């Protein structure tokens, strides 16, 4: 048997799982854990806000497949980090979040910074634990397993302030058995629906992207040609120039896809997670066959058949489609794509978000990593950004919390140090996480943060216009956002025209340091390009 302190054991278990970073802000009780992380070879990344720590842990998990880890102290630290933890829950990222908690003598007392962390994190996590000397091994094993099981998500572990130096023995354990689930799949019903279909439409979603089934999906579409729509977080799974690719649901100009819906006789959901966009929000009144790795809630009406199993099983069953009878109108799909692109390009003759994004696309390497914050600009990025089968788009669409873009970019740069990483954010999202620019400077992370500055919460303004209401509560500031050529010691490049935008991007790419591009845009494009959902 090997004796370790609880702090040492936690650090050792995380390192053995491949964890190399813990994100957060320390408190007094967390000092021994930070020392244990350092001794083990895990770097503690200090953030400016605990919410950023949760986001960075979630993005780290997405990029590496290894659980992301974050930390916060009592009370306000825990409530701050909860925003990032919620993102891990609804964006389906395996994360372990540690918070300091009062010791047993004080946990139920009235005392400074004390709230019940278990109740706080219960609705935001798959499970929450309070660690003790008696359950350390069980809690760590359970947390590591549960955070990665379908659907992946966050696990919270509360660390009482007085247990870090307790020595425990760490005998080899058999681990905790995964729960075996049995599903009542009605395969005959599914086969019958597939055999009858002549004009199926495939909808690919977040689970498919997380499982990275691109090879299997493209091989299937080589033989069984049908139009394909994707949810925003599945962006990049199928190349935008693929003959079957129709477009992205719920994002810019997605109403053009209705020409395809009108002809389809069956929707085939492939790893489609309704956390992004419910089926009933868009699909026509036709049968639905839904394939996923776990059962999920479905619309309450209509003909629906679910199959729960692994991806190779999905494609095996899908071979029951009658290939000789499938009607595939590639010209219709291409026509829709071309028309959408034509409308988008029609807005690039003045300096608005469409022009700024087009210039950015032209100047970036094809394998760049783009993080997109929440806001009107995300709708344009989701539909029109070209991944070329090489680059990555990182966004939040299950949680959809503003302020995601900057910490996501920092995490992407930390985990992919040689990559070109760009964040596109609105000025509202930037203001929420502006303090993280000093984090970029502290760790010399050469991210390029492009702020679409229009002085307003434009997406809310657009939604107010749908209700025939005047703008209210959406004005952020008057004049220039930065009023200087540096922010927290970081260079700010102003771009208020096509030429200056291109010049700013080229300059930002030429230096090995963080840069902010203040893209002062005309926001009028949005009211024409965003679709009412």
Tokens encoding 427: 């000025």
Q: Are 84 and 78 in contact (CB under 8 A)?
A: no
Same domain, 61 and 157: yes
Cβ–Cβ under 8 Å, residues 176 and 142 = yes
Residues 304 and 107: their CA atoms lie apart, in Å, by 48
Instruction: Verify that 65 and 163 share a domain, yes or no.
Output: yes
Q: What is the pLDDT of residue 203?
A: 98
| C-alpha distance from residue 249 to each of 58, 255, 278, 284 (Å) | 24, 9, 10, 13
Asked whether residue 504 is assigned to any structural domain, the reply reads yes
Same domain, 19 and 91: yes
Do both 378 and 323 map to the same domain? no
Strand-pairing partners, residue 337, are none
Asked whether residue 162 falls in the same domain as residue 199, the answer is no
**Final residue of a domain: which of 169, 195, 224?**
169
Could you tell me if residue 177 is inside a domain? Answer: no
475 in a structural domain:
yes
Give the pLDDT confidence score for residue 3 in this predicted structure. 85
* pLDDT for residue 104: 86
CB 251 within 8 A of CB 230: no
Structural domain range at position 107: 3-169
**How confident is the model at residue 1, as a pLDDT?**
59
On whether both 362 and 501 belong to a single domain, the answer is: yes
Q: Can you spell out the DSSP letters for 336-361? A: HHHHHHHHHHTTTTSSSHHHHHHHHH
Render pLDDT for 141-163 as a digit per residue (tens, 0 to 9). Answer: 999 999 999 999 999 999 999 99
Q: Which of 334, 365, 398 is the last residue of a domain?
A: 334
- pLDDT at position 113 is 87
Domain co-membership, 164 together with 15: yes
User: Is the whole model's pTM more than 0.85, yes or no?
Assistant: yes
Q: What is the CATH number of the domain that holds 20?
A: 3.40.50.970
Q: Is residue 234 part of a domain?
A: yes
Q: Give pLDDT < 50 ranges for the chain.
A: 174
DSSP 321: S
**Bridge partners of 369?**
392, 421
| Domains of the chain: total | 3
CATH number at residue 232: 3.40.50.1220
Q: How far apart are CA 276 and CA 398, in angstroms?
A: 5
Q: What is the pLDDT, as a whole number, of residue 174?
A: 47
pLDDT at 171: 65
Q: From its phi and psi, is residue 514 left (phi > 0), alpha (psi between -120 and 50) or beta?
A: beta
Domain shared by 289 and 375, yes or no:
no
How big is the chain by its Cα radius of gyration, in Å?
Answer: 24
The residue count for the chain: 533
| Spatial separation of the C-alpha atoms in residues 35 and 376, rounded to whole Å | 43
- Beta pairing class for 304-308 and 288-292: parallel
């Amino acid at each position: 048997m090997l004796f370790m302190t609880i702090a040492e054991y936690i650090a050792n278990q995380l390192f053995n799982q491949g964890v190399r970073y813990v994100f957060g802000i320390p408190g007094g009780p967390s000092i021994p854990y930070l020392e244990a992380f350092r001794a083990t070879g895990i770097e503690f990344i200090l953030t400016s806000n605990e919410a950023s720590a949760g986001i960075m842990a979630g993005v780290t998990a997405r990029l590496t497949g290894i659980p992301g880890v974050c930390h916060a102290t009592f009370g306000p630290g825990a409530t701050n980090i909860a925003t990032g933890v919620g993102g891990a829950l609804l964006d389906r990222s395996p994360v372990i979040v540690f918070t300091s908690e009062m010791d047993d003598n004080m946990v139920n007392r009235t005392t400074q910074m004390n709230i019940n962390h278990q109740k706080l994190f219960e609705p935001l996590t798959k499970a929450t634990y309070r660690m003790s000397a008696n359950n350390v091994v069980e809690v760590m094993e359970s947390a590591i397993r549960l955070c990665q099981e379908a659907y992946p998500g966050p696990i919270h572990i509360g660390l009482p302030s007085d247990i870090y130096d307790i020595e425990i023995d760490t005998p080899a354990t058999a681990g905790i058995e995964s729960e075996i689930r049995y599903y009542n799949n009605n395969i005959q019903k599914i086969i019958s629906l597939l055999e009858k279909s002549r004009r199926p439409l495939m909808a690919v979603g977040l689970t498919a992207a997380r499982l990275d089934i691109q090879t299997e999906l493209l091989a299937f579409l080589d033989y069984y040609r049908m139009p394909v729509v994707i949810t925003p977080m599945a962006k990049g799974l199928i190349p935008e120039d693929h003959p079957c690719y129709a477009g992205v649901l719920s994002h810019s100009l997605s109403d053009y896809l209705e020409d395809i819906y009108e002809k389809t006789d069956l929707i085939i959901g492939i790893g489609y997670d309704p956390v992004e966009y419910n089926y009933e929000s868009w699909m026509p009144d036709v049968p639905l066959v839904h394939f996923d790795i776990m059962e999920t809630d479905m619309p309450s009406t209509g003909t629906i058949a679910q199959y729960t199993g692994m991806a190779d099983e999905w494609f095996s069953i899908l071979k029951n489609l009658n290939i000789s009878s499938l009607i595939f109108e590639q010209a219709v799909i291409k026509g829709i794509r071309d028309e959408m692109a034509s409308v988008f390009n029609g807005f690039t003759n003045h300096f608005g978000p469409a022009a700024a994004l087009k210039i950015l696309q032209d100047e970036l390497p094809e394998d760049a990593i783009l993080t997109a914050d929440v806001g009107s600009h995300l709708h344009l990025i989701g539909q029109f950004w070209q991944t070329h089968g090489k680059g990555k788009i990182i966004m939040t669409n299950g949680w959809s919390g503003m302020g995601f873009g900057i910490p996501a970019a920092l995490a992407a740069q930390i985990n992919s140090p040689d990559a070109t990483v760009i964040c596109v954010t609105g000025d509202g999202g930037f203001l929420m996480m502006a303090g993280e620019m000093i984090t970029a400077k502290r760790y010399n992370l050469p991210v390029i943060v492009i702020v679409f500055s229009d002085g307003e919460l434009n997406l809310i303004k657009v939604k107010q216009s749908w209700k025939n209401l005047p703008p209210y509560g959406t004005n952020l500031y008057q004049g220039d956002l930065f009023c200087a050529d540096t922010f927290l010691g970081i260079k700010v490049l102003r771009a208020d025209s096509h030429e200056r935008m291109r010049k700013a991007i080229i300059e930002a790419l030429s230096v090995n340091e963080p840069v902010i591009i203040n893209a002062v845009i005309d926001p009028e494009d949005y009211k024409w390009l965003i679709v009412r959902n």
